[in-house]
Structure 1
Amino acid sequence: MEFSIDWRIFLTIFVSVFIAELGDKTQLATMLFAADKAVSKWTVFFAASAALVLASAMGVLVGTFLSEYINEKVLSYIAGAGFIVIGLYTLYTA
């Protein structure tokens, strides 16, 4: 397996994930941990970073596995429907 980076795709993924993570539960939880004066900010940073790396790795592995059995377009529809359902649930419970 050759290691090469398609910078256009890299930047698309980076910007998409960065924007999606701004202000979400993960960032808020990290801010709360960092606000504790007794906790090392480096510990918070490295622990939160490791958790995000692991979650991303799981996403890549599951996505790779699913793509072997489900068409990419169908996966996009499933993901889109999932976001709509979550959005509707959030509006309903607000």
Structure 2
Amino acid sequence: MDGILAIFFAIFLAELGDKTQLATMAFAAKYGWKVAFVGAILGLAAVNLIGAVLGDKLGDVIPLEMVHKFAGALFIVFGILMIFGKL
């Protein structure tokens, strides 16, 4: 249960105010909150299922330390690209 709570809070905080939440608000304005909520849940579930399955498979063949370093480097690259307006 500790893992689930840690993941929940990490994802919850990371997603606050991001483009997904803004898109969901826009869809809610057009289709209503129930349709927007169900659509957002299904879309996020599909994306996170892909991430979880790929992460599980990567964990079998790549050391976790290497995955952490690659993910950290990727976040830095995306941050730089966002600062300079390339994303």
- The question of a shared fold, defined as TM-score above 0.5 by the shorter chain, is answered with yes
Alignment counterpart, residue 26 of structure 2, candidates 32, 36, 41: 32
**Structure 2: where are the runs of 5+ without partners?**
none
Q: Verify: 1:10 aligned to 2:23, yes or no.
A: no
TM-score scaled by structure 2?
0.92
Alignment counterpart, residue 73 of structure 1, candidates 65, 78, 83: 65
Distance 1:78 1:18 in 2: 23
Distance 2:9 2:15 in 1: 10
**Structure 1: where are the runs of 5+ without partners?**
1-6
TM-score scaled by structure 1?
0.86
Q: Please tell me the root mean square deviation across aligned C-alpha atoms, in Å.
A: 1.2
Would you identify which runs of 4 or more consecutive aligned residues in structure 1 move more than 3 Å?
Answer: none
CA deviation profile, 1:19-47 (whole Å, cap 9, x unmatched): 011111110000001112xx232111111
Bigger helix fraction = 2
Q: Verify: 1:50 aligned to 2:42, yes or no.
A: yes
